[in-house]
Amino acid sequence: MGFRILVINPGSVSTKIAYFEDERKVWEEKLHHPIEELRKYSKLIEQLPMRKEIIIESMHRHGLREVELSAIAARGGLLKPLISGVYRVNRRMLDDLSSMKYGAHASNLGAILGVEIGQPYNVPVYIVDPVVVDEMEPIAKVSGLPEIERKSIFHALNQKYVARIAAEELGKHYEECAFIVAHMGGGISVGVHRDGRVVDVNNALNGEGPFTPERTGTLPVWQLIELVLSGKYTREQLWKKIVGQGGMVAYLGTNDLREVKRRIEAGDSEAKLIYEAMAYQIAKEIAAGAAVLKGKIDAIILTGGLANEQDFVDLIKERVDFLAPVKVYPGEREMEALAYGVLRVLRGEIDAHEYS
């Protein structure tokens, strides 16, 4: 039967789980959490019992018992900056995640859920390439103001995974390649991959890079300062405007690209402008990455949910394909990336890091 791995990937309104036997995905399920249910909890950590219960219920419905597992692969949350790799979940990591020391995000619950489910059966729990992977070079961290250092928060898990796939297709090792990878979803990150490291990337969570279906990306600084000082908004309201209520949803009232396409087809010129502007900004960010690599690029990679939209992909490609061949891997490969990373540890191909 090989190694049996349960994958847990919590999101804001759902928890994705999957079961793998070695590389083969046996089943996957997206467990939805109604907004009415989530409103019962004043703190994110209070959702743990509810999420744990429905995960176990789903496992048992599929005929999977906890004792049968070789390992649990959980989505990594907001932790201190880390090098890329697989990390064994330990007490210090659990403390940082549960206290929300480095920020509150649904992904913080992944490792905690893994331990709650696996620990009674001595099942080891790991995270893989969390969002705080930091391989940026010192020159890339200079912001222009000494009090502010650029941070690395991005879709490391999916970016690293599709980059390895692309390298294999090119007949190379990932560590030999130079890629620019754009993960395009609710958040958008554009990473510059060189010799196995992401040497520069926009902070996809805290307002940097292209605007997205629901985030503002980089904003004109002085106008933002004026907005902050206007007294019209609280700290929390401003944060929501930047992350969750910004970008495409602020302009058009929806974060669904399919709905925007329908409006464009119906002749909505505003929808067309914003749709094209988002592709335009992504292309600009990719072109900036080309400068980091001095034009020596093996491939430009487009991935994430927005990569399923061919017209959107074409708008980006027409602006950047002069730089390098463009490879497209639609959707998110996070479940596979988590399982594959842990499988490599179980097989002894790599060592797991200790969080300290």
* Same domain for 125 and 172: no
Q: What is the pLDDT of residue 1?
A: 67
* Same domain for 342 and 316: no
Q: What is the pLDDT of residue 315?
A: 98
Q: How confident is the model at residue 187 (pLDDT cuts 50, 70, 90)?
A: very high
* Same domain for 268 and 212: yes
CA 341, CA 194: separation in Å to the nearest integer?
20
* Same domain for 223 and 154: yes
Q: What is the pLDDT of residue 335?
A: 97
Q: What is the pLDDT of residue 104?
A: 87
Tokens of 21: 């036997």
Q: How confident is the model at residue 11 (pLDDT cuts 50, 70, 90)?
A: confident
Report if residue 55 sits inside a domain: yes
Report if residue 192 sits inside a domain: yes
Tally of domains in the chain: 2
pLDDT tens-digit readout, 288-321: 999 999 999 999 999 999 999 999 999 999 999 9
Cα 271 to chain centroid, rounded? 26
Report if residue 329 sits inside a domain: no
CA 238, CA 230: separation in Å to the nearest integer?
11
* Same domain for 128 and 144: no
* Same domain for 200 and 81: no
CATH code, 30? 3.30.420.40
How much of the chain, in percent, has pLDDT values that exceed 90? 94
pLDDT tens-digit readout, 99-157: 999 988 899 999 999 999 999 999 999 999 999 999 999 999 999 999 999 999 999 99
Kindly give the interhelix angle for 310-320 and 269-292, rounded to the nearest 10 degrees: 40
Report if residue 293 sits inside a domain: yes
Q: Which of 36, 19, 34, 17 is nearest to 113 (CA)?
A: 17
- Residues sharing a CB contact under 8 Å with residue 82, sequence separation 6 or more, in sequence order: 130, 132, 133, 134, 353, 355
Q: Which domain holds residue 66?
A: 4-132+334-354
pLDDT tens-digit readout, 61-91: 999 999 999 999 999 999 999 999 999 999 9
Report if residue 54 sits inside a domain: yes
* Same domain for 75 and 199: no
Report if residue 201 sits inside a domain: yes
pLDDT tens-digit readout, 203-239: 998 889 999 999 999 999 999 999 999 999 999 999 9
| Mean pLDDT score of the chain | 96
* Same domain for 347 and 303: no
* Same domain for 185 and 84: no
pTM of the complete model = 0.91
Report if residue 88 sits inside a domain: yes
Report if residue 309 sits inside a domain: yes
* Same domain for 217 and 169: yes
* Same domain for 110 and 218: no
What is the arithmetic mean of pLDDT over 260-270?
A: 97
- Residues sharing a CB contact under 8 Å with residue 242, sequence separation 6 or more, in sequence order: 206, 207, 215, 216, 219
What is the arithmetic mean of pLDDT over 339-347?
A: 97
* Same domain for 26 and 62: yes
